[in-house]
A and B are shown apart, each in its own frame.
Chain A
Amino acid sequence: MRQNNVSAIIDLNEPSDALLPLTQFRPVGTLPFAGRYRLIDFPLSAISNAGIRDVGMFMPRSARSVQDHVRSGDAWNLDSIRGGIFTFPYVANKDYSDPANRRRYFDDYLTFLRKSDSSYTIVIGARNVDNINVQEVQQFHVEGNNPITVLYKRQLPDKVNANEEALNISDAGDVTTIMKASEITPDPVNHMVPMHMGVYFLRTSLLIDLLQNASQREEFIRLPEILHEALEVYNANGYEYTGFYANINTIKRYFDANMAMLDEANYQALLFSQREIYTKNLNEIPTFFSKGSDVNTSLLGTGCRIEGQANHSVIFRRVIIDRSAKVENSIIMQGSKIGPGSKLNYVILDKGVVIGPHLTIEGTPEKPIIFEKNMSVLRASDIKKGVQH
C-alpha cells in the first residue's frame, strides 16, 4: 500500500476550560495520562500504527508543551523521509472579520491536504483516550454508502453529560444528525447512547471541496463545524468503536480515566494491545522502592523514590514519596514531592508540586483537589491554594 494513501489532521484547539487549572499552560492534548503518556499519544499512535506518514498538527494557543513532546515525531515513526509532521501555528482567536486571517485559516488546511496527495483524510482531536484501528475504519468507510464516516462509542446515559454530543442513527444505520446526549433515546436493548467521538474519515478531495466552499462564505466557520454540517447534509457511516474510551472534557473525566487504568483489565487492553501506544522516550533511572515502602494497585513511572505508601494511585516520573507519607486515590505528576508523614487522598498534583511534611489533604471522588504546576504547599494554610471544581 502506498504510504500516503491516508493523511491525518490533528486539531489541538479543543475546549479546555473545564479542565482548569491543569490546562492553564497546556492544551487538553498534552495532559499527562496514566503515569507516562500525554493524551496526544493516543491519536499519534493510532495514526502511526496505520502506517500514516502525513500528519498536519494544528497547534493550540500554548504550543510549547506540544512541540516539546512531539519534537520530530520520531517516537511515532513520523520522521521519515516522506511525509512527516507538519505543524501550523495557532489561529483560532484571530479576528476573522479580517479576510486575510480567514484566508490564512483555510490555506493552512488546503496546503497541507493538497501536498499530502492522499486519497483519504482522518480528522481527529487529541482529547480522547482510545486505541483506534484506522485501517479498519478505512475499510469500513470504503464499504459504506456515505461519503463521510464518523466514529462513535456506545455508553450508558448515566456515564455521559447531558450536553455532550451523541449521534442520531437512522434505522438504516446512517448517521443523520448530531444531537445532545439527553435528546437521544437510548437503545431499547442495551440502553446505551452512541456518543460522538469527534473523529471523521472522508475522501481528501471531499474535504478540500468542503474547505473551499466554506472559505467563500460570508460568516467564518471552523473545521469542526464544517464537518458537522457536512455530516447532516450528506449523512455519514457510523463506525462503532468498542475499546476503552474516555473523552477528557472535565476534571472528573480526567480523574476517572486515570483511575480506570488501575483496573488491570483496562490497563492490559489499552496499553498492552497489539496496537502499541508510543510516547516520547526518556532516559530515566529505575524507580526505587525503599525498605518499608508499601505500594499497591498503582501505576508508576521511572525515576521515582518511594519510601512511604501509595495505594490506588497514578504516579508519574521522578516523584518522591517520603517516609511515612501516604498517597491514595490520587494522580501525582512528574517531579512532585510529598513530604514525610503527609497524607493525600483524592488529590491531583500537577508537575513539580511540593507538599511539605505532615499535611493532610483530602478531596472527594467527585471533586479531587488540584494543585497547580510548581506550587509549594508547605504548611496547613497553603492547602487552600488547591482548586476544587
Chain B
Amino acid sequence: MSTEMLAMILAGGQGSRLGKLTKSTAKPAVPFGGRYRIIDFALSNCFNSGVNTVGVVTQYQPLELNAHIQNGASWGLDEKNAGVTVLQPFASREGEKWFQGTAHAIYQNIDYIDLYQPKYILILSGDHIYKMDYEAMFNYHKAKKAALTVGVLPVSMEEATRFGIMNTDETERIIEFEEKPKKPKSNLASMGIYIFNWPTLKKYLVDSYSTDGKMEDFGKDVIPAYLSHNEPTYAYAFHGYWKDVGTIQSLWQANMEFLEPNNELNIGDREWRIYSKNDALPPMYVTKSAKVNNSMVVDGCYVAGDIEHTILSQNVKVGTGTVIKDSMVMPNAVIGKDVTIDHAIIGERAIIGDGASVIGTEDDIAVVGFQEVLGKEVEDE
C-alpha cells in the first residue's frame, strides 16, 4: 500500500467556546448550514482534491463524529486500500496515547500513517468552513521543493493581531512566525493547514519524543523548529471564503453568511460539492399557516410558523404561531406553538415548549443546548 499524500484531520478539539453545543459532541460534528456538519467541508475538500486517504484524529466525545463518518462512503472516501480511518487514542506498551497537542496527535498515529508510506502529509483542522483545492497547494509545495508549506489567509492588518502570522521573503519563504503579534509585519494568517514531507516531519517528531518531547504543537513547536533549522518553509496563500467557527458568535455569523444568496462560499457550485451523511427523510412540508422568507429549509422539516432569515436543519418541527428570526436551528429540534426565537442557535434535539421565548441579540446570541428542554411539553400537532 502506498499513497503519495495522506491527509490527517485534527478533529479532537473540545470546542469549549461553543459551550452547550459541544457538551456531548466534538466541535467538528457540530451541525452547520442546515444539511452539514463542520467536518464535511474538510472531508469534501479532500475528495474533491483527489486526496483519497484520510485519517480523522478524534479524542473528545467522538461518538457522534464516528456515527457521522462511518466508512466514509458519503464523501466518496471508501475506496479499497484507501479511505477514511477514525483514529482514537489507545493504550499500548508505551502507555496511553492521549494527544497533548496537534503535533503530538500526529506522533501518536505514526503507525497508521506508515501503513500507507506517504511521501507527503496534509494536516487539516476539522473546524473550518471553506472550499479549498488541496491539490493546488500540493503542486505549490512540490514546485517550491518545500519541507513544509503553510496555508495562509491574507487578512486585514487589524485582524492580523488575532492570528498566527507568517512573515515571508520575496520568494514566499517563511522567515518568521509570530503568534498574535501586537504590531504585525505581515497579514498572512496561518489557517492551520500544512503540507509536510513525511519522512522529515517524522524524524523531527521521533527525535523529539526520544529526548525532550517538546514537539507538541505545530504552531508553537514544529514551525519554529523548522525555521531555526532552516528547513525550506513556504506560505501558500488561499483566496476565498474561510471561517473559523470556534465561538457561538462566529458560528452564528457563518450561518447567517451562508444564508446570503451571493455568499462567497457558493455552496450551490456543483463543480465543488460539499457532501454529507444524511438520512433519507421525507420532503419538507410547509403548511397553510406558514410564512417562510429569506430562509433555508431542508428535508424532514415541518413548518407551520413564521420563519424569517433563519436556517432550519433536517427534521426540525415548527408549530403554528411561532416566529423565528435571525437564527439557526439544528437537526431534530422540536419547536412548539407560539414560540418566539430571535438571534439564537437551537441545539440538536432541543425541545422548546409552547409559548417559550429564546431571545438573543446580535452581540449576544442566545443558545439552547443539545437535547435541552425549555418550557412545557410540546403538544402533538
Contact = CB atoms under 8 A, between A and B. Distances in A.
Interface in A244-274: 264, 267, 271-272
A29 interface: no
Interface string B254-296: 0000010100000110000111101110111111101111111
A301 B299 contact: yes
A280 B293 contact: no
Interface string B148-171: 000000000000000000000000
Interface stretch (A8-16, A130-138, A288-296): A288-296
B266 to A, nearest CB: 10
Contacts of A112: none
Contacts of A301: 283-284, 299
Given A36-B299, A286-B33, A286-B34, A291 B283 contact: no
A238 B189 CA distance: 72
Given A293-B292, A295-B292, A302-B299, A286 B283 contact: no
Contacts of A303: 268
B286 A286 contact: no
B109 to A, nearest CB: 29
A361 interface: no
B7 interface: no
Contact of B297 (A271, A283, A287, A297): A287
Interface string B354-381: 0000000000000000000000000001
Given A36-B299, A286-B298, A299 B283 contact: yes
Contacts of A267: 282, 285
Contacts of B292: 289, 293, 295
B35 interface: yes
A286 B311 contact: yes
Contact of B283 (A36, A285, A293): A36
Nearest to A293: B293
B275 A283 contact: yes
Nearest to A268: B381
A279 interface: yes
B282 A300 contact: no
A288 B266 CA distance: 13
A288 B283 contact: no
Given A36-B299, A289-B296, A290-B294, A281 B280 contact: yes
A75 B280 contact: yes
Contacts of B295: 288-289
Contacts of B297: 286-287, 289, 300
A35 interface: yes
A303 B34 CA distance: 12
A58 B279 CA distance: 28
A300 B286 CA distance: 8
Interface residues of A, number: 35
Nearest to B291: A294
A385 B1 CA distance: 58
B55 to A, nearest CB: 23
Interface residues of B, number: 35
A118 interface: no
A297 B287 CA distance: 4
A71 B35 CA distance: 23
B268 to A, nearest CB: 5
A299 B296 contact: no
Contacts of A211: none
From A292, A293, A295, A303, name the one whose CB has the most chain B CB atoms within 10 angstroms: A295
A289 B294 contact: yes
Contacts of B33: 286
Contacts of B278: 281, 283
A336 to B, nearest CB: 15
Contacts of A285: 35, 267-268
B284 A288 contact: no
A34 interface: yes
A300 B284 contact: yes
Nearest to B278: A281
A277 B285 contact: no
A201 interface: no
Contacts of B288: 296-297
Nearest to A271: B282
A298 interface: yes
A34 B283 contact: yes
Interface string B127-159: 000000000000000000000000000000000
Contacts of A294: 291
A346 interface: no
A371 interface: no
B289 to A, nearest CB: 8
Contacts of A105: none
A34 B274 CA distance: 25
Given A286-B35, A289-B295, A295-B292, A264 B280 contact: no
A36 B276 contact: no
A278 B261 CA distance: 31
Contacts of A292: 293
Contacts of A34: 282-283
Nearest to B299: A302
Contacts of B34: 286
Interface of A: 34-36, 75, 264, 267, 271-272, 277-281, 283-303, 314
Which 6 A-B pairs have CB atoms at the shortest separation, nearest pair first? A35-B283, A286-B296, A286-B34, A271-B282, A289-B292, A299-B283
Interface of B: 33-35, 74, 259, 261, 267-268, 273-276, 278-280, 282-288, 290-299, 307, 311, 381
Given A267-B285, A288-B259, A297-B288, 17 more contacts: A34-B282, A34-B283, A36-B282, A36-B299, A272-B282, A286-B33, A286-B297, A288-B295, A289-B294, A289-B296, A290-B261, A293-B292, A294-B291, A299-B285, A299-B286, A300-B297, A302-B298
21 contacts: A34-B282, A34-B283, A264-B287, A271-B282, A281-B279, A283-B274, A283-B276, A286-B33, A287-B296, A289-B296, A289-B297, A291-B293, A291-B294, A292-B293, A295-B290, A296-B288, A297-B288, A300-B283, A300-B297, A302-B35, A302-B299
